Each structure stands twice: as C-alpha cells, then as structure tokens.
Amino acid sequence: MWGTDLSRLTKKLAKTEDSHMTYRSAHVKNGALTEMQSEWFSFSFLSREAFAALKLAEEKFLSLSKSQIQLVKLQLLHDHALHTGNLKLAQQLCDELGVLASSVAGVDIEIKVEASLRHARILIAANQFSQAAAVARSLFCMCYKFSLQVENATVLLLFAEIHKRSGNAVLGIPYALASLSFCKSFNLDLLKASATLTLAELWLSLGSSHAKRALDLIHGAFPVLLGHGGLELRARAFITEAKCYLADSNFSVSEEPEMVLEPLRQASEDLELLEAAGEAVSYPCLHPCYSFVVHAPLEALPSEIHVDIDLDIKAGKA
C-alpha cells in the first residue's frame, strides 16, 4: 500500500499530468495576430496571484522598464511550462528570455546566466544529462570569469541535480556540499535548504544505511522549506521524508503508519495545488505570438503562429 502511494506521488512530482490544452484569444488577420482577450487572464491559484502582484508593481513603480517586467513574466511562464511538462514551450520561453540580453560580451550577464540555467533544467527534464552537464560547465566558467559568487551556488546545485537524476549520487554529493558552502557564506537561506534537500536525496539513493542521515538533513531544512519553499520543493521534501522512514530498517510502518502517511498526504495536497495551476493556464500578452490562452500542445497551434523549436527532446536520451 505504502509503495503504491509513494510511486504514484513520485510520478506526479517528476511530471505533472499533461493538461488537455486548447488555444484561443488570437487569430490571423492580414498576416498579423489580433488579440481577442484582455491582456490579463486568470492564471489560477499562486500563478494568478503572482501575475496580479506583478501587474500592481508595474503600475506602481513606473521607473521599472518594460524589459524588467518582461523578464519576470517570462520566468513565471517558464516555471509553469516545466511544471506541466511542456518542454517545447519552456524552450520557446527560454529563447525569448535570452533575447532580452545584449549580444555584447560582459553585458546583461545576470539575464544570460538565468537563460542558461533554465535551458539546463529543460535538458534535465528531457533526460538529456550530458547536454545539461555541458551547459552547466559553460555556465560555471561564465560565473567564475565575472565573479558571480552567488550564482555559483546555484550552478553547483545544478551539477548535483544532474548527477542525482542520472543515477550518479556519489559524484553529486561533492557538488551539493560545495553549493551548501557557498550558501552559508552568502546567507542564501532558501537555496541552502534546497541544496540540503538535494543532499538528503543523494545520500538516500546510496542505500538504507544512509536513511537516518538523510532524514536528519531534511528535518533540519524543514523550517525554511515549509516557510518559504514553493509547492514542488515542499512536496519533494515530504516525499523524501516518507522514503527515509520506509528505507530505515529500524522503522516499522505497522507500528507508526502516520509517520509515513502524514508526509504523503502533505505532498499530495501540494502536488494537487501545483496541478491545479495547469488546468486553466492563461498567458498574458508578452509578444504577439503569445497572445493566446494555451491549453494545447505547441504542435496543435495553427501553422501561422507555430514557432519551430530547435530542440531534440526525446525522453530517456542521455
């Protein structure tokens, strides 16, 4: 029973259920797309609140440039595309993010780093680990060259995630520890908690003898994860906690079933909220080709507004 629930929730976390998507709100007229809906649509739950806050900031702080607002919009939309498993749309948004950066070397480094990080996460989601590692190496060199110490912590954690997902936990642990060191030096509390969770997952994957160590790490990170972490991060923590109990040879599920059931229930609630954000996704107008409400795979869009993505995504390809 416990194994079935855990397997189901883990699959949900790895890739939320694909939405049956339809499109609307744009059509072609004399070769140009015409908006048919207002710029702002309900994005559902946290996404809706995020866009509402962004809209308010845009109106209140007139000094913010359109490119800054555009950057945040693209980040929110990219996060959602990854959560729903729409990797082609995620890559399209990532490309748009990269366009915001200047082509001049040494300019808009933060945007370039952000675009590369998101591209690497797309490759990880597509199980293209060697390509993701190549992007991470290039990114690390960029951060070192321009002394981006804070970003280095994120890149090191990215390496740890790549090794974790590719089944090389032993290689991933040093990167997670290095990331933790950077986080402590620069007081990056949430990133530190995320790195701690990844480290716990890596230790747990090495066998049941490390379950207690992993559990202690998770419990130490819980205050920050639950107080400031996103739904996916929280769900990962709860699922890993349940896995730690199940892997511990000294723990008896029959004697203390709630120790396993409670974190699974919490994870289920967070994942259901995360899935709910994919049931009625609406994309604010970013660019003419985005002025439609996406509830369909990119391939389902009419050829007039379809943008070819130069990304070979094949599940299982390393």
Residue 192 pLDDT level (bands cut at 50, 70, 90): very high
CA dist 159 and 137 (Å) reads: 9
Amino acid 285: pLDDT: 31
pLDDT digits (tens, 9 = 90+) for 240-296: 999 999 999 999 999 999 999 999 999 999 988 877 755 434 333 333 333 222 333
Amino acid 208: pLDDT: 94
pTM (predicted TM-score): 0.71
pLDDT digits (tens, 9 = 90+) for 130-163: 999 999 999 999 999 999 988 999 999 999 999 9
- Long-range contacts from 174-181, C-beta under 8 angstroms, 24+ separation: 176/202, 179/153, 179/154
What is the enclosing helix (H) or strand (E) of 218?
Answer: helix 211-228
3-state secondary structure of 158: helix
CA dist 179 and 174 (Å) reads: 9
3-state secondary structure of 23: strand
What is the enclosing helix (H) or strand (E) of 34?
Answer: strand 32-35
Report whether pLDDT(38) > 80. Answer: no
CA dist 218 and 9 (Å) reads: 18
Q: State how far the alpha carbon of 282 is from the alpha carbons of 20, 144, 258, in Å.
A: 14, 38, 38
Contact 19, 288 (CB under 8 A): no
Report whether pLDDT(187) > 70. Answer: yes
Identify any residues that bridge with 295 across adjacent strands, giving them in sequence order.
none
Amino acid 238: pLDDT: 97
Q: Comparing 90-104, 224-238, 264-278, which segment has the lowest mean pLDDT?
A: 264-278
3-state secondary structure of 294: strand
Residue with structure tokens 């530190």?
A: 192
Of the two residues 39 and 193, the one the predictor is more confident about is 193
What is the enclosing helix (H) or strand (E) of 24?
Answer: strand 23-24
CA dist 113 and 155 (Å) reads: 9
Amino acid 87: pLDDT: 94
Q: How many CB atoms are closer than 10 A to CB 213?
A: 14
pLDDT digits (tens, 9 = 90+) for 2-25: 555 555 555 554 443 333 232 223
Amino acid 292: pLDDT: 28
Q: What distance, in Å, lies between the first and last C-alpha atoms of the chain? A: 33
For the chain, the average pLDDT equals: 76
pLDDT digits (tens, 9 = 90+) for 207-221: 999 999 999 999 999
- Long-range contacts from 22-29, C-beta under 8 angstroms, 24+ separation: 22/293, 22/295, 22/296, 22/300, 23/292, 23/293, 23/294, 23/295, 23/296, 23/300, 23/301, 24/292, 24/293, 25/291, 25/292, 25/293, 26/288, 26/291, 26/292, 26/305, 28/302, 28/304, 28/305
CA dist 249 and 71 (Å) reads: 48
CA dist 55 and 58 (Å) reads: 5
3-state secondary structure of 100: coil
